A and B are shown apart, each in its own frame.
Chain A
């Protein structure tokens, strides 16, 4: 097991989560974890992002592995079933669109900026301390709150399954992982 520079990208993932507590606008950077895997899978037809660069996966691997915060049990069969993985991806995408919709509402002036981070699509946590105004439109801040909610929610879910099952259990049902694998499969079908 040779060490590579990209084995330390978990530092960026951790920094990202911390920055969101200080200034929510940093949440925009999270788009990188969205576009890079998609671009890699679309352009090269592999899961290079998961296999090498994903800092979130590394973070779970580190906390659950080296720091021992995982029971290291097998994940239940239903969680690795295609039905659950694809279902979770669909649910995730629907919630993502809903987030884009509320961003649009703020941009269009139909709704005021809500300074909350929504955890697990349900719990609204006050997050006003991380918002110091913006020279941009409030809609840009709304997107930041929304995107950070997505990132925090997936981290919390990943953390729980890391503790219960194997360290990187999140990777089994991670929507980005599922989506990039689907893209690779589609590319393989029609070369």
Chain B
């Protein structure tokens, strides 16, 4: 029934706890992450494919992969 609703997975960063180390940015195969002014990681939702590599890499474990509907 919901054939028109496409589900996608995407990375979300809990910015409050991000230490801005950049490990996620380094590992992302899509270069979807940048470190915003040395404060926190920002994911480009258009580029992220939700592979989860960043979440596994993040030493603070502050990235979550969530399903989103587009």
Query: Which A residues are closer than 8 A to B by beta carbons?
Result: 1, 41, 45-48, 50-52, 57, 61, 72, 74-75, 80, 85, 165-172, 177-178, 180-181, 183-185, 187-188
Contact = CB atoms under 8 A, between A and B. Distances in A.
B21 A184 contact: no
A47 B20 contact: yes
Contacts of B45: none
Contacts of A180: 38
A100 B29 CA distance: 44
5 contacts: A46-B35, A46-B37, A51-B21, A75-B59, A184-B20
A131 B54 CA distance: 44
B20 A50 contact: yes
A46 to B, nearest CB: 4
Contacts of A183: 38
Contacts of A1: 26-29
B59 A166 contact: yes
B26 A166 contact: no
Given A47-B21, A50-B22, A172-B59, 4 more contacts: A47-B22, A52-B22, A72-B56, A166-B61
A177 B61 contact: no
Chain B interface, >50% SS class: loop
Given A51-B25, A168-B21, A171-B19, A184 B60 contact: no
B19 A178 contact: yes
Interface of B: 17, 19-23, 25-29, 35, 37-39, 56-62
B61 A47 contact: no
Name which of B19, B25, B62 has the most chain A CB atoms within 10 A of its CB.
B19
B30 to A, nearest CB: 10
A61 B19 contact: no
A181 B40 CA distance: 9
Nearest to A52: B22
A55 to B, nearest CB: 14
Contact of B37 (A52, A166, A170, A184): A184
